[in-house]
Amino acid sequence: MAERSSRKTKTWVIVIIALLGFVALFSAVSLFLVKTLYDSNFPQYDRPQFSGFLTFDDMTNYPYTTVQFESGMNKLTGYIFGEQNDKGLVVISHGSGSGAERYLAEIVYFVDHGWRVFAYDNTGSYTSEGASTVGLSQSLLDLRAALNYVKNNESLRSLPLMLYGHSWGGYAVTAILNENHEISAVASIAGYNTPLGLFYEQGKSQAGFFGTIAYPYEWLYQRLLFGNDAGIAAVDGINSSGTPVMIIHGTADDLILYNGASIMAQKDAITNPNGVYVTRSEAGQDGHSSLLRSREALEYSAAKNQECKAISDSFGGNIPQDVRAAWYAGLDKWKTSELDSGLMDQIGSFFESSLLQ
């Protein structure tokens, strides 16, 4: 009897050890796969050699000053436009995979309407330092560093402060409201509510069932990367600050789903009475970035893309460098970059109304 009980005990010990071994192996593999998937989405982005949109070379009538400031261990590059303007300061936080240069059309709009603008390249983006763009919370850390630069800059700190962010930046400009900064108004375009919410949403999209069951490891990796900053929510900042906030999102956004990880999806949880919500549902102008551009810009770009495809096909998909350079030189970049004036005027009026409060 005692011998049989001893065998059962040994069997259970073996089963438990095997289960623990399986859990440990599964956890190690899962964390490795989560890290691989996550890191692959946040490489370092160089400023492209060719651009179909406005570049700094096109800014001959819009002088700017280049500055540098530190974010963590990295030195970031910033650009100050409209130094003669004193209506207020618009700080622009860009989307992942781009830099301040990609938002020159918005910069021109704000400068033309009397605003001074401070835009910058995030960690690992374009001309800023960083071996990678790190992850979903990095835009918040870099915006925090940018606002500290503003606070310590004598010519900037006295101006009313507006924040404008898209995507990665759309999260940052709302999440930063959890902190003690004097911010007059915020425009968040195509932003997500929490980094983990978007990580989970994109994980399911890219990895299917594994993306669903890997949630604990997604949480853990985000926490390992960013510590307490990993869990900061945009909606909490919007609610705690009372700052006027305009939330803009497109119904066909396939990167940050309108009814998924977006801030817009949390509209009913927002108690800030100064919230304004703009849904973009017009065909072609309801995507992640297309919501910012005019219909004429989208039509022109579509025609030029077809032209580029025909050239590529004629060279078997390998366009010679001189041909590529000539094609980009022939683009009307003011036309490809043209913004939806109605949307931009809404944002501009929203910022101006905050000056009266």
**Residue 68's pLDDT band (cuts 50, 70, 90):** very high
pLDDT of residue 277: 98
pLDDT score of 15: 64
Q: 335 Cβ partners below 8 Å, 6+ apart? A: 296, 297, 300
Tell me: pLDDT of 101 over 70.
yes
Q: What is the pLDDT of residue 79?
A: 98
Q: Is the pLDDT assigned to residue 9 strictly greater than 70? A: no
* Predicted local distance difference test score (pLDDT) of residue 36: 84
Reported as a single tens digit per residue, the pLDDT across 180-198 is 999 999 999 999 999 999 9
Which residues share a beta bridge with 187? 164, 246
- pLDDT attached to residue 199: 87
C-alpha separations of 152 from 35, 68, 118, 156 in Å:
36, 13, 14, 8
Quick one: average pLDDT of 131-140? 97
Would you state the structure tokens that stand for residue 2, as one six-digit string?
């005692």
Cα dist. 270→86, 231, 247, 266, 274 in Å? 32, 17, 11, 7, 10
Q: What is the pTM (predicted TM-score) of this model?
A: 0.92
pLDDT tens across 229-268, in order? 999 999 999 999 999 999 999 999 999 999 999 999 999 9
pLDDT digit string, tens, across residues 30-54: 778 778 888 888 999 999 999 999 9
